[in-house]
Amino acid sequence: MTVLKTDKMTMKFGGITAVSKFDMEIEKNEIIGLIGPNGAGKTTCFNMITGVYTPTEGKIYFEDKNITGMKTHEITKLGIARTFQNIRLFKELSVLDNVLIANHMRLDSNLFSAIIKTPDYRNKERKILEKSIKLIKDVGLDDVINEKSSSLPYGKQRRLEIARALATDPKLLILDEPAAGMNPQESMKLMEFITEIRDRFNITILMIEHHMQVVMGVCERIYVLDYGIMIAEGTPTEIQNNPKVIEAYLGVE
């Protein structure tokens, strides 16, 4: 089953083409990498898929539904969640509160029931609390559940951001440089963690990552962008040996 498909997805800013006619197809439960030198257009692709930008040309399909130009919150409700290169947590709130906030997106109640705390609303709140606690345990943060998020080590902050994205019940999880700022030991743990959450939550994962050891170690297929144009697509081994990819990263004499 195809989870995400882009058809000639293009983004232009004035006279500059950031991404040109990018075609990508992701099947259910795959872990896919999107790589390329700085300025290649990777984050622009993510921003189009998640509704931050509307493509200048082309279409985006999520489970065969055309989501081109939809708002970010609409796309999130359909089942696409993302993290950011720069961690965006509620720093003064606890681990639990960060996850609870994300879970409230699925709370189906009106303002009246929330104000007077009807039995139905209280029951839904209890279920959200139970779900949040379970999710925190699943990602290995139960030992810091009441800690302020800003006090966590960097690797745990990354896990919390991913947990918050998982709280929205995504079918597709988009990770923007999850290994950024991590030391080698943390990066190795991250590789295991990404595979674990794919299997545990039965989701599909698309990630941008500059850390080549992480990309090659966890991704099943990889797309490569250079100056907004896709120059290669294939398995990690195929990408590592692709002359165009080597030239894009290392240049030629």
- pLDDT beyond 90 at 250: no
Closest CA to 174 of 78, 34, 60, 66: 34
Both 75 and 94 in one domain: the answer is no
Both 140 and 198 in one domain: the answer is no
61 falls within a domain = yes
Both 71 and 108 in one domain: the answer is no
* Structural domains in the chain (count): 2
Confidence of residue 222 (pLDDT cuts 50, 70, 90): very high
163 falls within a domain = no
Please answer whether residues 81 and 88 qualify as being in contact, where contact means their C-beta atoms are separated by less than 8 angstroms: no
For residue 182, give Cα distances in angstroms to 35, 76, 153, 158, 186: 18, 27, 10, 9, 6
Q: Give the domain-ending residue among 154, 180, 195.
A: 154
56 falls within a domain = yes
Both 70 and 191 in one domain: the answer is yes
Both 108 and 75 in one domain: the answer is no
Both 240 and 195 in one domain: the answer is yes
CATH number at residue 74: 3.40.50.300
Mean pLDDT computed over 134-145: 92
Q: Please write the tens of the pLDDT for every residue from 156-189.
A: 898 999 999 999 999 999 999 988 888 888 888 8
> Residue 136 belongs to what domain range?
90-154
Q: Give the domain-ending residue among 125, 154, 183.
A: 154
Q: Give the domain-ending residue among 154, 179, 208.
A: 154
Both 118 and 145 in one domain: the answer is yes
Both 218 and 102 in one domain: the answer is no
User: Phi, psi at residue 10, to the nearest 5°?
Assistant: -135, 140
Helices (H) and strands (E) in the chain, counts: 10, 10
Q: Please write the tens of the pLDDT for every residue from 14-72.
A: 889 999 999 999 999 999 999 998 889 999 999 999 999 999 999 999 999 999 999 99
159 falls within a domain = no
CB proximity list for 250: less than 8 A, separation 6 or greater:
none
Please give the pLDDT value at position 125. 78
Both 75 and 176 in one domain: the answer is yes
Beta bridge partners of 61: 5, 66
85 falls within a domain = no
Both 75 and 173 in one domain: the answer is yes
Both 59 and 181 in one domain: the answer is yes
Both 175 and 53 in one domain: the answer is yes
Please give the pLDDT value at position 114. 56
Please give the pLDDT value at position 109. 54
Distance CA 125, CA 238 (A): 49
Count of Cβ atoms closer than 10 Å to residue 210 Cβ: 15
84 falls within a domain = no
